[in-house]
Amino acid sequence: SGAMSKNAERTYIMVKPDGVQRGLVGNIISRFEKRGYQLCGLKMRTASRELLEEHYGDLKSKPFFPGLVNFMMSGPVVSMVWQGKDVVKQGRSMLGETDPLKSKPGSIRGDFCIDMGKNVCHGSDSVDTANEEIKMWFKDDEVMDYKLTAYKDIY
Ligand code: RTP
């Protein structure tokens, strides 16, 4: 049961409006699938200001906050819940650094962007934050709980 709960870790990954505009949704989903993670939630919508101000609540005092919220409202985003071993940390590492200049080729940001303001994707920075963000962006019945039978030896 220790192993079960470890593999049940979940994170919130979001393709930002620039990633959607540039047709990167499929590539990003594919990276998580191929790595071995399980897709538990998936939806698209243009987020409200209220939701974005809650999501970026810890950045409210930053000078870039208004621009960040406006950019995030500029078009639809794709929200995802991914599940599996160490998925919060692994997800951050697959995304790359916030600053694309520090992002290594091979990461999503390292492969696809050069601008901090348009860095393609978001990933939760801790297990606690992940659980909060999943609650913000998904209703309970929009997050699936199912067994991956093809990987029954792993999961
Ligand atoms: P994210 O939440 O989007 O995954 O990004 P993060 O944790 O790596 O970085 P965070 O500090 O939470 O910043 C959130 C987003 O704000 C934009 N940003 N712009 N112009 C700037 O100095 C600046 N700093 C951050 C980025 O788009 C970042 O992803």
d(CA 59, CA 64): 8
Ligand 1 pocket member 116 (CB < 6 A): yes
| pLDDT grade for 97, boundaries at 50, 70 and 90 | very high
Task: With a cut of 60, say whether residue 3 has pLDDT above it.
Answer: no
d(CA 76, CA 45): 5
SS (H, E, C) 29-60: HHHHHHHCCEEEEEEEECCCHHHHHHHCHHHC
Among protein residues, the one whose CA lies closest to atom 9 of ligand 1:
98
d(CA 99, CA 7): 29
pLDDT digits (tens, 9 = 90+) for 125-149: 999 999 999 999 999 999 999 988 7
Rg over alpha carbons for the chain, rounded to the nearest Å, is 15
Of these residues, 38, 77, 122, 137, which one is catalytic?
Answer: 122
Task: With a cut of 80, say whether residue 90 has pLDDT above it.
Answer: yes
Among protein residues, the one whose CA lies closest to atom 28 of ligand 1:
98
- Tell me how crowded residue 117 is: count the other CB atoms within 10 A of its CB: 12
For 58-100, the DSSP string reads GGTTSTTHHHHHHHHTSS-EEEEEEESTTHHHHHHHHH--SSG
Q: List the 77-83 sheet strands across, edge first.
A: 38-45, 77-83, 10-15, 121-123
Task: With a cut of 50, say whether residue 1 has pLDDT above it.
Answer: no
Please, which residues have CB within 8 angstroms of residue 76's CB and are 6 or more apart in sequence?
A: 17, 20, 44, 45, 46
Gap from CA of 98 to ligand 1 centroid (Å): 6
| pLDDT grade for 7, boundaries at 50, 70 and 90 | confident
As a whole number, mean pLDDT of residues 75-90 equals 98
User: Is 55 one of the catalytic residues?
Assistant: no
State pTM to two decimals. 0.93
Predicted pLDDT at 154: 56
Which one has a higher pLDDT value, 38 or 3? 38
Q: What is the ipTM of this complex?
A: 0.90
